[in-house]
């Protein structure tokens, strides 16, 4: 070993120790229909979605400051949307480095992490909304096996969101039954747990992760999991509350529920699209609904360009929804 290599190695070790230094954070568990910490205290998360770590890295934004800012906005957790195409393009080894960093930065600011396999479409038929969401069932299994092996004992990584938004898109992606989807999720949960994943699997329903009605008669056969919905403003017409209860809110009576994506923007905002157009009326409705039922939620998305964006420039100046949710999140007493 020559001297230069030695210097680099010492620096590497030093860097790693610095980055990974952290207070041990409680393992979050499921108890009945709630998440609890190691003292048994109920924990409700109000968090932010980062954009894809790969995208943030390319933008030069992926760094401790980004996480510090998120923490300053009042978030107690972050969700990392790992796009399958980005995962393959950057390569497993390089992408894992990003996740290692992000998890460490989140931990430093006492925030929990959801790792989200960010695909949209019908995994059974391999039909997706866009190439960036393309994956296969074996790739999905392998991804979760690796996540469990690598982060399964890391208490910061509280959640594994198995598949972002399952949808048949009015059958443009063909068909898949709840029974088929349930079996896929149960298989992933088996794989996660057998490989040491001690975090909480989160399972979404159809209609772009909106509809959880089949859980009523045919829930996922696994303990210690949570369910996901993405109730954007336009998924239903006002008054929203009775429909939300019918579609996904009722699940909270028996299981934990996490809204891993909520958010709104003007129809004139850059990138505005169905179903995210809305305003503070929606903000009040969804946060009140969640607060009343101890439902955790995550705002989409802490990015300058992805829509609905939360900030509008390199100084993290809040967008309209950014202002709303920053104030809201900071109002909670954690």
Residues that bind a second copy (CB under 8 A): 125-127, 136-138, 141-142, 145, 169-175, 187, 190-191, 193-195
Minimum Å gap between C-beta 180 and a second copy is 12
The rounded distance, in Å, linking the Cα atoms of 119 and 132 is: 8
Minimum Å gap between C-beta 169 and a second copy is 8
| Helix orientation angle between 92-108 and 3-20, rounded to the nearest 10 degrees | 50
Considering CB distances under 5 to 8 angstroms, the limit depending on partner class, which of Mg ion, a second copy, none binds residue 138?
Answer: a second copy
Residue 119 CB burial class (10 angstroms; 0-12, 13-18, ≥19): buried
**Residue given tokens 């208490």 in the structure block:** 155
The rounded distance, in Å, linking the Cα atoms of 145 and 31 is: 25
The token pair at 270 is: 């850059």
The rounded distance, in Å, linking the Cα atoms of 270 and 248 is: 29
Closest CB to a second copy among residues 144, 289: 144
Closest CB to Mg ion among residues 151, 325: 325
Q: Sheet harboring 120-122: ordered strands across?
A: 127-128, 120-122, 165-166
Considering CB distances under 5 to 8 angstroms, the limit depending on partner class, which of Mg ion, a second copy, none binds residue 207?
Answer: Mg ion
Considering CB distances under 5 to 8 angstroms, the limit depending on partner class, which of Mg ion, a second copy, none binds residue 206?
Answer: Mg ion
Closest CB to a second copy among residues 21, 146: 146
Considering CB distances under 5 to 8 angstroms, the limit depending on partner class, which of a second copy, Mg ion, none binds residue 172?
Answer: a second copy
Closest CB to Mg ion among residues 109, 169: 169
Question: Which residues of the chain form contacts with Mg ion (CB under 5 A)?
Answer: 167-168, 206-207
């Amino acid at each position: 070993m020559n001297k230069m290599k030695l210097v680099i190695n010492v620096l590497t070790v030093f860097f790693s120790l610095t980055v990974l230094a952290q207070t041990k954070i409680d393992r979050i568990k499921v108890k009945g229909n709630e998440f609890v910490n190691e003292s048994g205290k109920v924990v409700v998360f109000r968090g932010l979605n980062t954009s894809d770590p790969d995208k943030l890295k390319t933008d030069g934004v992926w760094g401790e400051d980004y996480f510090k800012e998120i923490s300053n906005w009042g978030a107690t957790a972050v969700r990392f949307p790992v796009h399958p195409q980005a995962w393959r393009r950057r390569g497993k080894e390089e992408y894992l480095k990003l996740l290692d960093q992000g998890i460490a930065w989140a931990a430093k600011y006492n925030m929990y992490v959801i790792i989200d396999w960010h695909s949209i479409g019908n995994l059974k038929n391999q039909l997706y909304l866009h190439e960036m969401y393309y994956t296969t069932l074996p790739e999905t299994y392998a991804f979760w096996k690796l996540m469990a092996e690598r982060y399964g004992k890391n208490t910061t990584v509280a959640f594994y969101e198995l598949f972002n938004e399952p949808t048949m898109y009015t059958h443009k992606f063909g068909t898949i039954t709840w029974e088929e989807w349930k079996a896929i999720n149960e298989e992933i949960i088996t794989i996660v747990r057998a490989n040491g994943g001690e975090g909480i699997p989160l399972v979404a329903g159809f209609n772009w992760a909106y509809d959880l009605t089949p859980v009523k008669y045919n829930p996922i056969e696994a303990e210690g999991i949570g369910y996901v919905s993405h109730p954007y403003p336009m998924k239903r017409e006002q008054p929203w509350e009775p429909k939300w209860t019918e579609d996904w809110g009722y699940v909270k009576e028996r299981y934990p529920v996490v809204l891993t994506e909520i958010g709104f923007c003007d129809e004139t905002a850059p990138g505005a699209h169905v179903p995210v157009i809305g305003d503070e009326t929606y903000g009040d409705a969804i946060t009140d609904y969640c607060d009343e039922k101890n439902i955790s939620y995550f705002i989409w998305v802490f990015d300058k360009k992805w829509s609905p964006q939360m900030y509008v420039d390199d100084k993290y100046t809040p967008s309209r929804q950014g202002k709303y949710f920053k104030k809201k999140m900071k109002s909670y007493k954690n």
